[in-house]
Amino acid sequence: MDDVDRKILAELQLDGRLTITELAERVQLSVSPTHRRLRELERNGAIQSYRAVVNPEALGLNFEALVFVTMGEEDRATLLAFEEAVARIPNVRLAQRLFGDPDYLLRIVTTDLAAYARLQDETLSSLPGMQRLTSTMVMKQVVDDRPLPS
C-alpha cells in the first residue's frame, strides 16, 4: 500500500468504471503494473466491491428516516437475533452498533411516510430485544455518502 495504490483507490472512489488505460494515465504508470496493482487491491480486500450509486427518487424512494434503538436485553444471543433481523429488512441501508445510548442507529428508506409508518408498526417495533425506538425524518442530504478521505 504505497502512494500509487492510494491514488488508485482515490480515483476509483470517484469513478468506479475508469478503464485501466485511463487509470494508468492518472497514476502515471503504464497499463500492466496498474492492472496488476488493481487486481491485488481487489484480491486483498482493499476494494470490497463496485457499485452504481442510484438516485433513490428514480425508484420512488422518497422518504428517509433515522431510527435510534435502545435495547432492553443486552445478552449476546439477543443482540445477534436483533442484528440478524435488522439485516433481513431490505429498507435498512445502514445499521450500526454504538457505544453508550442509543445502542443502535438505523438508516431507513421507504417510498413515503405511510410506508415507513407501516414498517415501524409491523416490523421495527417487534425486533427481538428492542426496548425503545426513537425515529427522526431526514429533511436534507447535506453530504451524501462521500468517498473516504485520503
Partner DNA sequence: ACTGAAAGCGATGCAGA
Partner DNA sequence: TCTGCATCGCTTTCAGT
Q: Which residues bind its own copies (CB under 8 A)?
A: 1, 6, 9, 12-17, 41, 44-56, 58-59, 61, 64, 66, 83, 86-87, 90-100, 104-106, 109, 136-150
Find the binder of DNA among 7, 11, 12, 29 (CB under 7 A): 29
Q: Does 35 bind DNA (CB under 7 A)?
A: yes
In this structure, what C-alpha cell is assigned to residue 84?
A: 440478524
76 binds, among its own copies, DNA, none (CB under 5 to 8 A by kind): none
- The Cα–Cα gap between 9 and 150 comes to 9
21 binds, among its own copies, DNA, none (CB under 5 to 8 A by kind): DNA
CA-closest candidate to residue 82, choices 123, 134, 110: 123
CA-closest candidate to residue 123, choices 95, 75, 90: 90
* Closest CB 79 distance from its own copies, rounded Å: 9
What is the CB-side half-sphere exposure of residue 60 using CA atoms within 13 A?
3
20 binds, among DNA, its own copies, none (CB under 5 to 8 A by kind): DNA
Distance of CA 117 to the CA centre of its chain: 22
